Amino acid sequence: MKLKWSHAVLNVKDEKKILDFYTGIMGFTVSDRGPLGENAPEIIFMSQDPDEHHQLAIALLRKDEGPSNSLNHLAFRVESFDDIKTLKNSLEAASVDILPLSHGNTLSLYFNDPEGNGLEVFWDTPWHVAQPAGIVWDTSLDEQQALAWVEETFGDEPTFRKRDDAGGEFVNRH
């Protein structure tokens, strides 16, 4: 059996804040919504992929105050370095705190949604680096500068090599 990731469902309190964040900043579109049952709270489905009914859903079930404590983070891959830069600018414009970390094999942005759920958005670099690894990177760098920085920063690691040359089943994971 081979499992393929499909979606995540978050329990939330504030529908408006969460929808504004995921549709406005993160670029999701609401694909469906409705009550979980008779006299039950609503679930809202969202996706960025027209071939996926939902990649993320929110259920208006959260009762506790404070940040979520059972989820470390959800991670999303983007296709280009420009996507990372655009998201960084959107997050900064919304006054969202960002932790930019490179794992050698990625350039990542870590941040929280309005209810404290951890998120990571990352762009793959062309290299493999054994994990765990994480060093703060300068988000003001352009793509070529960032890649040069990754190579310089992680290049002495014993496992550092081009992803295509790395072999193995899990080289593109972090």
Find out whether 105 and 137 touch, Cβ atoms under 8 Å: no
Could you tell me the two tokens for 49? 């992929």
Find out whether 100 and 137 touch, Cβ atoms under 8 Å: yes
Question: What is the domain count for the chain?
Answer: 2
Cα separation, 133 vs 111, in Å, equals: 18
- Same domain (yes/no): 91, 167: yes
Domain end, chosen from 63, 87, 111, is at 63
Stretch 63-92: mean pLDDT, rounded? 87
Tell me: pLDDT of 159 over 90.
no
Tell me: pLDDT of 163 over 70.
yes
Please give the backbone phi and psi of residue 154, each rounded to the nearest 5 degrees, phi first: -105, -5
Stretch 66-92: mean pLDDT, rounded? 89
> Would you tell me how many other CB atoms lie within 10 Å of the CB of residue 56?
20
**What CATH number is associated with residue 54?**
3.10.180.10
pLDDT of amino acid 48: 93
- Same domain (yes/no): 22, 77: no
- Same domain (yes/no): 95, 173: yes
Cα separation, 154 vs 161, in Å, equals: 10
pLDDT of amino acid 94: 96
Stretch 85-97: mean pLDDT, rounded? 97
- Same domain (yes/no): 70, 42: no
Stretch 74-96: mean pLDDT, rounded? 95
As a dihedral over the C-alpha atoms of residue 30, residue 32, residue 34, residue 36, rounded to 10 degrees, the angle is -100
- Same domain (yes/no): 170, 92: yes
Percent of the chain with pLDDT strictly greater than 90 = 61
Residue 160 DSSP code? -
Domain end, chosen from 63, 96, 113, is at 63
> Would you tell me how many other CB atoms lie within 10 Å of the CB of residue 63?
6
Tell me: pLDDT of 47 over 90.
yes
Tell me: pLDDT of 106 over 90.
yes
- Same domain (yes/no): 72, 148: yes
Could you tell me the two tokens for 6? 């499909």
β-bridge mates for residue 29, sequence order:
47
Cα separation, 115 vs 129, in Å, equals: 32
- Same domain (yes/no): 125, 46: no
Domain end, chosen from 26, 42, 63, is at 63
Range of the domain at 119: 66-174
**What CATH number is associated with residue 143?**
3.30.720.110
Stretch 143-167: mean pLDDT, rounded? 90
The 10s digit of each residue's pLDDT in 120-142 is 999 999 999 888 889 999 999 99
- Same domain (yes/no): 38, 97: no
- Same domain (yes/no): 71, 25: no
Stretch 18-22: mean pLDDT, rounded? 96
Could you tell me the two tokens for 80? 């280009």
> What global pTM score does this model have?
0.81
Stretch 64-75: mean pLDDT, rounded? 77
Q: How many residues does the chain have?
A: 174
